[in-house]
Amino acid sequence: MCGRYASARKKHDLLEEFEVELDGAPDQELGPDYNVAPTKEVYAVMSRVPRVEGEKTSGRPVRQLRVVRWGLVPSWAKDPSIGSRMINARIETVGEKPAFRKAFASRRCLLPADGYFEWMPTEDKKKQPYFIHPADGGVLAMAGLYEFWKDPGRADDDPLKWLCTCTVITTSAEDELGRIHDRMPMMVERDRWAEWLDPRLADPAKLLVPASPDRLEAYPVSTDVNNVRNNGPALVQPAEPIGKESGNDDDAGALF
């Protein structure tokens, strides 16, 4: 699963990196977050067909950067608390599960990250956190879905009437990454961003081809990341491992 990640890039940098159109930038700017956890607000890149007085136009989709909440709330949910259990969608079933099926069809997004965290058991039964990120320092574009939920208890003109939420699509982890955890976020390569975001695509299932994980690297970090109240750039700095990997005779941390 993907349950924690880092996202410290400024809004301006993301607007440029993802080629967001001028009218697709949010008013809100999120601060750097080195310990993004479920239910937090995060950035999501999406393509939306403009609406006029609530109705979709026939125009082309506009690439946007939005602030959404992590933990997808299906449109049919009775209340938004279900979102805390919908932080990940498995690639194997994302097109079938009722909670994700409609969003997968036309509400796909990219969730920008600097990297993500996973935990590996050690011989003494503790868990060593690792930070996994692009080796070249570039942005990690995680495949995601987004959904809108309408709060029936609020007036139509209430700005909080609509809640926009997201989930991270996960796939099986291979090679060295699989030693840390058997799942990882599905990455989308830059040359497939436009197609992934296009809500008009007739057959999105063809896009479920994970990017190669060989451009990622991992290293052990401080257990301070275990506490969601801790934050700051120190959380993504390499640290001495707390013990040997379970079932591994080599020095812990010698992954790459």
Domain map (residue ranges) of the chain: 5-236
Beta bridge mates, 122? 245
* Domain spanning 5-236, CATH class: alpha beta
pLDDT at 175: 64
Q: Is residue 118 flagged as an active site residue?
A: yes
**pLDDT, position 202:** 87
Q: Which of 2, 109, 164, 166 is catalytic?
A: 2
d(CA 234, CA 203): 42
**Do residues 135 and 182 lie in contact, with contact meaning Cβ atoms separated by under 8 Å?**
no
pLDDT at 124: 82
Provide the 8-state DSSP code for 122.
B
Q: Which of 109, 118, 147, 166 is catalytic?
A: 118
Is 2 among the residues known to form the active site? yes
**112: closest CA among 170, 163, 185?**
185
Task: Provide the pLDDT for residue 59.
Answer: 76
- The series of mean pLDDT values per 10 residues for the chain, 256 residues long, is 92 97 90 98 95 66 96 95 95 96 97 96 89 95 97 87 96 81 93 96 89 88 97 97 60 31
pTM of the model: 0.91
